[in-house]
Amino acid sequence: MGRAEIGRALSLSTQAVSNIIAELSDDGLLIERGHLAVGRGLPAKQYALNPKGGYAFGIEIRPDALLAALLDMEGNPVMMKRVAMTKTDPETIVVQIKSLYLEALADEAGAGGRMLGAGIVMPGPFGATGISGHGTDLADWNDIDPATYFSQALDLPVEVSNDANAAAMAERLNGAAQGLSNYAYLYFGTGLGLGLVSDGALVQGAFGNAGEIGHIPMPGINGNLESRLSRMSLQQHLSSADKHADDIDTLAMLFESRDKDLHAWLKPACEALAYAVAVVENLFDPEAIILGGAMPDALLEYFVDQTSLPDQSVSNRPNAQHPRLQSGASGRMTATLGAAALVLNRTLSPHIAHAH
């Protein structure tokens, strides 16, 4: 955009924009993109964010591994790494993270002085709650505030969140949620998580544990939602037929080959998804619900196509602008990239900073 256009969009004078652009250019945060003539008048000098003007580091902590990614300011990954872990105590993890961080800085020349912060994704819920202790959470982390701990270790501002929130933010940066400010993201991790974005900001809850949609009771069965709709439920279903699918590729293969056990799981899963959609839509009235996470693409597409969306919903509107249910980013690294996206979103979207 040109100075005058930016000024109009921001309700600032052209002169003010000029001053700000001069400062940002000096800092290397903007690049010039030539002149653009759209009609009469002096063609505007175009400015854009310099993708190499800032970087965000993302870490995903899992019980068995550590995943890291480095994103530039446009959200392009410039590094991705995975390290298997056997111990998950804070000291072991922080040492490993520091070493991954140094690798990232070594990989990308110039990132050193331009780090905007680090995003950390770790399994929730945070603190002792009624759904703790189900095997997915990390030991030895109860007495530590992860944000402070990592912030001191890396000497960077740190954002901590869960996988679903991170994935939702990643989707806003580059994916299906671009331009949306009210949407929900259903994330397939081990269980089923929900990332909620309201007016451009994550709804994190009082203790950062919002979005545990997998744990709500599921109508018609004696169990919760994620007992029907999650990767773990699918894997349990398969293993009861003596089939073992530990990774996404195996699941994709089974889906592709129309495996009858996998397909038997699909129908009740779609019903569970329809229920989840009804709950999320009526409680939250999103522009769209995006489906993503550690599932094969084809399976996500199947869910989007085959799930019959509830009629009794505030989102069932005749003139909807967006598909009510759509698929987003899938794969192993979604949440890791999302961790870094947390930082980019904090940097790039206006908010009130609380004095410290």
Partner DNA sequence: TTGATCATTCAAACAGTTTGAGTTAATCCC
Partner DNA sequence: GGGATTAACTCAAACTGTTTGAATGATCAA
Task: Kindly list the residues in this chain that would bind a copy of itself in the complex (CB under 8 A).
Answer: 9-11, 124-125, 127-131, 181-183, 194, 196, 198-199, 201, 203-213, 215-220, 224, 275, 278-280, 282-287, 310-319, 350-352, 355
Per partner kind, with CB cut-offs from 5 to 8 A, the member of a copy of itself, DNA, none near residue 109 is none
SS3 content of the chain, % helix, strand, coil (to 5): 40, 20, 40
Select the residue interacting with DNA from 26, 34, 39, 257 (CB under 7 A): 39
58 versus 125: smaller Cβ distance to a copy of itself: 125
- Between residue 4 and residue 23, which ones bind DNA under the rule CB under 7 A? 4-5, 11-16, 18-20
Per partner kind, with CB cut-offs from 5 to 8 A, the member of DNA, a copy of itself, none near residue 312 is a copy of itself
From the CB of 223, what's the least distance to a copy of itself, in Å? 10
Q: Distance between CA atoms of 31 and 51, rounded to whole angstroms?
A: 9
H helices within 52-89, ranges in order?
Answer: none
Q: Which residues contact 94 (CB under 8 A, 6 or more apart)?
A: 149, 150, 153
CA-CA-CA-CA dihedral for 199, 201, 207, 210, to nearest 10:
70
Q: Distance between CA atoms of 237 and 235, rounded to whole angstroms?
A: 5
Per partner kind, with CB cut-offs from 5 to 8 A, the member of DNA, a copy of itself, none near residue 112 is none
In the numeric block, which tokens belong to residue 205?
């809850």
Q: Does 25 bind DNA (CB under 7 A)?
A: no
- Between residue 44 and residue 83, which ones bind DNA under the rule CB under 7 A? 44-45
Tell me the window of 36-44, 218-226, 304-312, 348-356 that interacts with DNA (CB under 7 A). Answer: 36-44
Which residue, chain included where needed, has tokens 């990592």?
150
Select the residue interacting with DNA from 35, 87, 98, 263 (CB under 7 A): 35
How many H helices and E strands in the chain?
10, 12
11 versus 86: smaller Cβ distance to DNA: 11
Do 17 and 7 meet the contact criterion of CB atoms below 8 Å apart? yes
99 versus 308: smaller Cβ distance to a copy of itself: 308
Continuous segment of H or E residues that includes residue 183: strand 183-188
Select the residue interacting with DNA from 9, 27, 43, 102 (CB under 7 A): 43
Tell me the window of 31-39, 74-82, 154-162, 270-278 that interacts with DNA (CB under 7 A). Answer: 31-39
Do 73 and 345 meet the contact criterion of CB atoms below 8 Å apart? no
From the CB of 349, what's the least distance to a copy of itself, in Å? 10
Strand ordering across the sheet containing 115-121: 77-84, 65-72, 55-61, 115-121, 158-161
Q: State the angle between helix axes of 297-306 and 248-256 in degrees (0 to 180), rounded to the nearest 10.
A: 50
Transcribe 240-268 into DSSP letters.
TTT----SHHHHHHHHHTT-HHHHHHHHH
From the CB of 20, what's the least distance to DNA, in Å? 5
From the CB of 194, what's the least distance to a copy of itself, in Å? 6
Strand ordering across the sheet containing 288-293: 201-202, 192-198, 183-188, 288-293, 325-330
Tell me the window of 33-41, 228-236, 259-267, 304-312 that interacts with DNA (CB under 7 A). Answer: 33-41
From the CB of 31, what's the least distance to DNA, in Å? 14
From the CB of 68, what's the least distance to a copy of itself, in Å? 28
203 versus 298: smaller Cβ distance to a copy of itself: 203
Which residues bind to DNA, rule: CB under 7 A?
2-5, 11-16, 18-20, 35, 37, 39-45
